[in-house]
Structure 1
Amino acid sequence: MPWWAEMLIGIAIALVVTWVALIVALAVARPKGPLLQEALRLLPDLLRLLRRLAADPELPRGVRIRLGLLMVYLAVPIDLIPDFIPVLGYADDAIVVTLVLRSTVRRAGLAAVRAHWPGTDDGFEALTRLTGLRPADAQPTR
């Protein structure tokens, strides 16, 4: 077998293994029970929140970069998990958004996120449940 064919097979195997690892990571990190439904319900407010946070120059650069990459991920029509896979197929965007928001709240603090929240107080309460943080836990780390 020519060297280029072996290389293509190796790349294909690496891509499949990486894809399976991402599916497993998303399945483990997904919100449990009603939190997943809350994440899907809050998605429009979350998208506005992401845009506002990414444009805030007072947030750490790493947070803004992470939020910008998340917005690019959401804009790309190709999903990590195809929609025909039950539950995770439709929820992968909500799971990825939740993971990035957890990281953002831990880094920037819940007060910064609250200042940019476009939705209702009930929606913000759901957001704090999704991030897994209470206001006392969400102190920024700089």
Structure 2
Amino acid sequence: MSVLNDIRRWARRVKRDAVTLWFACRHPGTPWLPKALAAFVVAYALSPIDLIPDFIPVLGYVDDALLLPALIWLAIRMLPQEILADCRIKADEWMSRGEGKPRSAWGAALVIGIWLGAGAVLWAWLR
């Protein structure tokens, strides 16, 4: 059971850090580069559509298990410590109220845009 508890704690931290980045995007003191990366990560993390759909065997879970946590880790490392601390407090308060995860229409648009772009490139290549 210890491994299962570790996985649950890790999943909660990833979720909390995604919400932390959501607050960091809106924080006026966040520098532009960490803000841009945080915005990309938040748009992708909170998008209701995955870049690699989960029904694709193995690859469908790569973005959820590897890509997304790595991007969250990188974005968190780029934030100044005082902004990170402030945004983590806000994220903890948000989650303790049971608000769930915010949704991102921009994230869905981003993923749809990537799929459309990849489809256009593939179509042009196959012609």
What TM-score does the superposition give when structure 2 sets the normalisation length?
0.49
Quick check: which has more Rg, 1 or 2? 1
Considering Cα pairs closer than 8 Å and 6+ residues apart, tell me whether 1 or 2 has the greater RCO. 2
What TM-score does the superposition give when structure 1 sets the normalisation length?
0.45
